[in-house]
Structure 1
């Protein structure tokens, strides 16, 4: 019963859902967990270095998407498609 938290009926792995997310949180899949941490750290370094925020990035991407969709729709109307 050493794998149970405070002598509960269910293990911590079962409480966390028992799937891939629980494996990552509990470091059972060390390579995947380390990869997620490295990508998160790299994104943090890029955002800190550039002075950009997540909100401004999302806003810029959405503005670009809307501009592309607008141009696409107008060109389809002009070309009768």
Structure 2
């Protein structure tokens, strides 16, 4: 009986060794191939960041924001980084406040609109004799 168990163990070890050494051999059944494919898929999931299945670009929305965050458009990403850094510098280092910034931007916009409207009156004026 002990010999029978040893022979079964040897047979099992031989099957495992043959499957490991040649997983795509012709002796594999369809079920073995499917289970092998599932094991490979599970193994691939384990090695991806946070176990995700989609690429990171698709996870982020696959649009302009994803391109900016992944630095695919380097000029735009650099501009966004520069703008955010300047805002951080204004608010944190110079102790500037958001309400003050909004008020100054509105005053600037009002001044530009006022000058534009006055300049357009002088430019579009025709001389009548």
* TM superposition score normalised by structure 1: 0.54
Distance of 2:78 and 2:48 partners within structure 1: 23
User: Equivalent of 2:88, from 22, 44, 57?
Assistant: 44
Partner of 2:105: 58
Partner SS state of residue 126, structure 2: coil
Structure 1: runs of 5+ lacking an equivalent: none
Distance of 2:91 and 2:80 partners within structure 1: 17
CA contact 1:5–1:11 (8 Å) conserved in 2: no
CA contact 1:5–1:12 (8 Å) conserved in 2: no
Cα 1:35/1:69, change in 2 over 3 Å: closer
Partner of 1:22: 66
* TM superposition score normalised by structure 2: 0.40
Q: What is the aligned residue count?
A: 76
Distance of 1:64 and 1:71 partners within structure 2: 11
Tell which has more relative contact order, 1 or 2 (C-alpha 8 A, sep 6+): 1
Cα 1:47/1:60, change in 2 over 3 Å: farther
Structure 2: runs of 5+ lacking an equivalent: 1-43
Structure exhibiting the larger radius of gyration computed from Cα positions: 2
